[in-house]
Structure 1
Amino acid sequence: MLLTHRVDRAVLRGALFSLCALLWPAPARGQGQTKTPPSARVEVSADQAAAAEALFQEARALVEKKEYAAACPKFAESQRLDPGIGTLMNLGDCYEKNGKMASAWATYREAIAEANRTDQRQREKDAAVLAARVEARLSRVTLRVPAANLRPGLKLSRDGQLVDPAQYGLSIPIDAGEHELRAEAPGHAPWSSRFGLAEGAKQELLVPALERLPEPAVAPPPGPQRTIGFVVAGAGIATVAAGGVLGLVAMSQRSEAQQLGCDDVACSTLEAKDKNDSALGLANVSTVLFIAGGVTTAAGVVLVATAPKRGPSAPPPVGGAPPPSAAASALWLGAARRGTGLSLQGRF
């Protein structure tokens, strides 16, 4: 049965724990918190104690309704806020009734240690009896990780909780039910497996060697075509700029020739004719530079746009011939003076 208020622990201790030996009833929180030596007590604020008591009472009400899955977390939170052996015993009893034998066993073992630490011998004996009773019903799992399957940085987790390597190869108590084991290591594909355990069952799980992931592809450095394209485009832009400068000079000289006596048909003086001829020559050169610069710039843009950006570079053809990208980038200007003109030759 469950007690509803705090009572004198000294009066009830003998009767209560004699009854526990035959049938364990969940004691009230007040009854469970026997006096602890001052040096061993944990300082708890009034707010924490009040919250712990409220949680404890709510958990007891849920246990009365046999709603153990909802009651156990409240007992656990009450214990966290205001630790006490009585709450631990109630929590262990709740876990046991809910079929969580490993959790119940671990909680009873914690109660044994706390009772021993605080010199509560009867409590220690009672908790030991309960722990022994639960231990016979424990489910256990053994994780086998052969040395050949170990990987640098290997991490195992069970139900999201990291498994310490010290547990490898040991028969570890766990609650019955469905579980998930997961293994992962840097540079390897993760592995996971789901398994179920009945109450009292024992199972061994072999962790396989994780498969190494392929190395990520590294993009090669840009090929020469892209670099040549930028150079060619830059040269084309510079050529267009030079053509523009010469065009301005030609316009200036043409204006001077007109002032000296040249019109659209003839020039009245030799000086005017020379100035006019020079202006016409510069205008022709400017036109050629504009055309050459435009073609060169366009060629550079094409080279940049068609340059391969990813993937392995193609091997050079047999015989030492340049690769297609190099051949496509062959471009030159040839200039020959014919009076005041320039000729442009190009190959793409």
Structure 2
Amino acid sequence: MILSRLPAPRAIRRARLAVASVVLASAALLAPAGALAQGMSSDPTLAQTLFEEGRRLMEAKAYAEACPKLAESQRLRPGTGTLLNLALCNEALGRTATAWGQFKEALFASKKEGNAAREAFAQEHIGALEPRLSKIVLKAESTPGLLVRVDGHDIPAAALGTPIPIDPGAHEVEATASGYSVWSTTVQVAENADLKTIAVPKLQPAPPAQAAAAPPGPAAGGAGSAGIAAGGSAGGGGGEGLRTAGFVIGGAGAAVLGVGAVFGILAAGQASDAEKDPALCPGKQCTPLGRKEIEAAETKALVSTIGFGVGVAAIGAGAILVLTSGRSEGEGASAPGRVHARVVPLLGPEGGGVGVVGAF
């Protein structure tokens, strides 16, 4: 029997090093990205500072200054207590629809958390606000690709013809469609259960030069309606395409990284098993068959290393695309649960929101 001297420990170390490299590099690459995302979306210290300052301003009845601070605190670190204070602040400013929607959201959150005191508090304010809610009804003539906006927020096609709670004050209503002239009007909504009906006429075809220059508008009920439901203005454009591409490329990179990890684990296992098998490598001296097993393990280790490199590069490229695409607006807190209810858009002078109606 011919025995060959095998540097089996070296092969095993190489395979294990490939696995360790994948794991450590993944952590090194993804942890900063996660930390960056966490820093962008959640800062507990700043959130608490803004909450306390907002509360101090509310106690001084400086509601116009307090509401933005509470809103930013809620964005940084969503919480039912902060949301209730924000609703109280908007109620004090006369933003009845905004406050009503926030109390509704806080009611669902309190139900989910099992906090009966907060649930009762939110329900009490909802009951007091509902008879006072002012609303608008948007009725539109059929126009292909019609998109209706109120204060820059897209209104889903399904919401047309439905009374939508809205804050008192002046609101801009706009209707657009690709190849048609823009129609707009201003509506003044009064306090205490005012109801305004806006009839959007059939849009007129745009002059040829204007139609050629105008970019196609988004379809009704698409990204814009999602922006309203999230409590902010609609985002989109080229940045959204880059963001999507970044996630796709990053996801592919993560998949390749996973393949590299699998091959690294297989390599380490195959080399280790060969070394421990007395029929293949007795006394660390391998037979030709044992040598083939070790060489196969080294090949898997090489595939693992290549997969690791490609995966890291793809994830890095995806992260760059996502971070340079800009951040979508309207990333507010959503309702934590649904209890036999439906969501309707709410509109205010400083942003969109949602209302929830149904049985609780």
TM-score range, shorter chain: 0.3 to 0.5
Q: Which has the higher strand share?
A: 2
Higher radius of gyration, 1 or 2 = 1
Normalised by the size of structure 2, how large is the TM-score? 0.46
